[in-house]
Amino acid sequence: MSSNRSITTTDPASDLASLNIDIRPATMDDLKALLALEESAFSGDRLNRRSFRRAISSTGSSLLVAVGNEQNLLGYALLHLRQGTRLARLYSLAVSPKARGLGIGKQLIQACEHKAIKKGKNLLRLEVSDVNKSAIALYQAMGYREFGHYDAYYEDQTDAIRMQKTLRYLSSEQTSRPLPWLAQGTPFTCGPASLQMVLSALSPDYQATPNDELEIWREATTIFMTSGHGGCHPMGLALAAQKRGLTAEIWLSEQAPLFVAGVRDELKKEVITRVHESFSEQCATAKLAVHYSVMPLEQLIRAFESGALPIILISTYRMDGKKAPHWVVMSGYDEHCILVHDPDYEAKDDTQNPLDCQFVPIARNEFEKMSRFGQSRLQATVVLSF
């Protein structure tokens, strides 16, 4: 949970008004001062020593500090940079009570924006307490706009306003869809979780449950993959969607059995092939449309505009370095990016938040690369409507 709620505009202290402020990356030598600043700036939701150490050493984060003439730490900003996407997140921002009113918060935010741009990000997001009017006013003055509200978000039960700013370009108006977000309950149920998001959005009577997540997986699984449990076949997901009242249309770039190229065991290959053939027969019987071609990006966008919600197979290599198939839901787009809801969330530490998995912006050229899996560059899309 973000600690971003501290900027308070006050009259500058006269003995600090002439300070030369330097913004630089934090080092381990700053730990003691960072912890003291955190203690003085916040009454709850504080970052601890481990969190600061991780932020200083992580390649996916940038911890910037503002220091005065004698290297006194006057503020910090913690920026998270999500790999494989164009998204950055201002996770926490703090200014020493004695240094407020000097514009340090604004300088730290600007430094984060420049850092995000250097890292190829074009969207910066943050959360701020809805009672922190001075911080909200500063963000608005700097071009941030509200796009979400969350009840009882902070430890003290205050609500959060979610804000974002587009960097590097002036985007056309973003098109997105209200879409409930769900985390996958297991490492192998990204497909069922994605389908449950779509069902929750399109079918008012549908109730997503952990049991139905597993039931969808049982209906759609390939049984085996290269290792461990099998993921979900696009035809299996389409059949599960149709069973639950949705209309499904499938786009596949190849007719051959899917996911067998990386499997060495002959028995596993045979099982995956038989499952593929069974799904093909079931789709024919159910009169599900299967297009053996790549779905062009512009056609994907037109389907989204018409009210459909596509589930798309991607490779996670550009996101986590692993060549694993993964299902996501298209949740919006603008002239530069495709937005997705990603069900893959694991609360291992404070570098990721469920909000980071929603409306994730992926540059269009990167998205087209991501949506090709394996040596055959398989592309699979399931377009769902009600």
pLDDT value of residue 12: 43
Q: Which residues, at least 6 apart from 170, have a Cβ–Cβ distance to it below 8 Å?
A: none
Inter-CA distances, 284 with 32, 105, 248, 281, Å: 66, 61, 13, 5
Residue among 342, 344, 329 at smallest CA distance from 381: 329
- Is the pLDDT at 341 greater than 90? The verdict is yes
Direct distance between the N- and C-terminal alpha carbons of the chain, in angstroms, rounded to an integer: 35
User: Tens digits of per-residue pLDDT, 224-243?
Assistant: 876 667 899 999 999 999 99
Residue 169 has pLDDT above 70, yes or no: no
The pLDDT of residue 44:
76
Q: Please, what is the Cα angle at 84 between 354 and 119, to 5 degrees?
A: 105
Tell which residue, 157, 55, 170, 37, has the closest CA to residue 115. Answer: 55
pTM: 0.73
**Which residues partner with 61 through β-bridges?**
80
> d(Cα 263, Cα 275) in Å, to the nearest integer?
14
> Between 10 and 85, where is the model more confident?
85
C-alpha–C-alpha distance, residues 63 and 241, integer Å: 44
- DSSP category for residue 64: E
Residue 153, both tokens? 């978000």
Q: For tokens 């503020």, what's the residue?
A: 75
DSSP letter assigned to residue 119: T
- Give tens-digit pLDDT for 82-134: 887 888 999 999 999 888 888 999 999 999 999 998 888 888 999 998 888 98
Domains of the chain: residue spans and CATH:
22-168 (3.40.630.30), 190-385 (3.90.70.10)
Q: Look at the alpha carbons of 261, 264, 270, 272 in this order and tell me if their dihedral is positive or negative.
A: negative
